[in-house]
Amino acid sequence: MNNKENFFKGIIKENPLFVSLLGMCPSLAVTTSLENAIGMTLGVFFVLVLSNFIISLIMSNSKLADLVKPVRIPVYIVVIATLVTIVEMVMHAYLPSLYFSLGVFIPLIVVNCIILGRAEAFASSNKPLDSVIDGVGMALGYGLAIMTISIFREFLGNGTLTVWGDLQVNLTFIFDFLKIEPIAMFVQPVGAFLTFGLILATITAIANNHKNKLAKKVANNG
């Protein structure tokens, strides 16, 4: 596998959220606005890339790896929890509004299955550089996925798209044009489940369609 494949697999083929259904809780909870989704992505990006790097550094040193192997899961958890604490403190100090709107989901990055999953499945058996590329790809794939959900939810529920702080795109004129109100349901919990379910179904439909086409092509050629 070359670097490019390694990078892009996290975004499309093995997208952690839409394909493997990992890290569901924050993706449903913090997608009420695009800003929250971007903040969550930053947190996950920092933790995932660094934890992949540190864990593969530990595991590629053969002496250290022998020592760590029997207790590797607790070791991973300590590494990840330390990184998450750093994120928590930095956000609390410099981005307080984001810190309070993400709330309990910042410390919960520790138990996000994507991070422990990548540590065990990839970083523990690959070189540090490859692990970093894998982490960047996976974090971006996850980020794009939650941003997609949040764009639908914020637009349909609120009529706006908040990128960061005051940088906000107001799209309520579309609702005015159609003479309807924004559908507040979409920023409530109901909307999270509904939007995610419909996006997943759309992706499955597209994937099925693609598979059928490939099968037909093979059949025609054969």
Partner 1 sequence: MDNLIMLAFSAFIIENIILSQFLGICPFLGVSTKRSSALGMGMAVIFVMLISSSVTWLLYKYVLEAFDITYMRTIVFILVIASLVQMVETFLKKVSPPLYKALGIYLPLITTNCAVLGVAILNISKEHNFLEMLVYTTFIGLGFLFVMYIFSMLREKLDFAPVPKAFKGAPIALVIAAILAIIFSRFGGII
Residues that bind partner 1 (CB under 8 A): 21, 24-26, 28-29, 73-74, 77-78, 81-82, 84-85, 88-89, 103-104, 107-108, 110-113, 116, 185, 188-194, 196-198, 200-202, 204-205, 208
The one-letter code for the residue type at 73 is: I
Q: From residue 201, how far is each of 151, 185, 196, 207 by CA, in Å?
A: 17, 20, 9, 10
Q: Report the alpha-carbon distance of residue 132 to residue 56 in Å, rounded.
A: 9
Closer residue to partner 1 in complex, CB, 12/198: 198
Q: Report the alpha-carbon distance of residue 42 to residue 20 in Å, rounded.
A: 20
Closer residue to partner 1 in complex, CB, 6/158: 158
Closer residue to partner 1 in complex, CB, 88/128: 88
Q: How far is the CB of 190 from partner 1 (least distance, A)?
A: 5
Q: How far is the CB of 155 from partner 1 (least distance, A)?
A: 18
Closer residue to partner 1 in complex, CB, 20/160: 20
The dihedral formed by the CA atoms of 173, 177, 179 and 180, expressed in degrees to the nearest 10:
-50
- Tokens found for residue 122: 């990839």
Helices 128-158 + 113-121 axis angle, to 10:
160
Q: How far is the CB of 197 from partner 1 (least distance, A)?
A: 3
Using the Cα atoms of residue 33, residue 188, residue 94 and residue 25 in order, give the sign of their dihedral: negative
Q: How far is the CB of 44 from partner 1 (least distance, A)?
A: 14
Nearest to 138 by CA among 206, 54, 44, 25: 44
Closer residue to partner 1 in complex, CB, 81/171: 81
Q: How far is the CB of 138 from partner 1 (least distance, A)?
A: 17
Report the alpha-carbon angle 26-27-30, nearest 5. 65
Closer residue to partner 1 in complex, CB, 97/202: 202
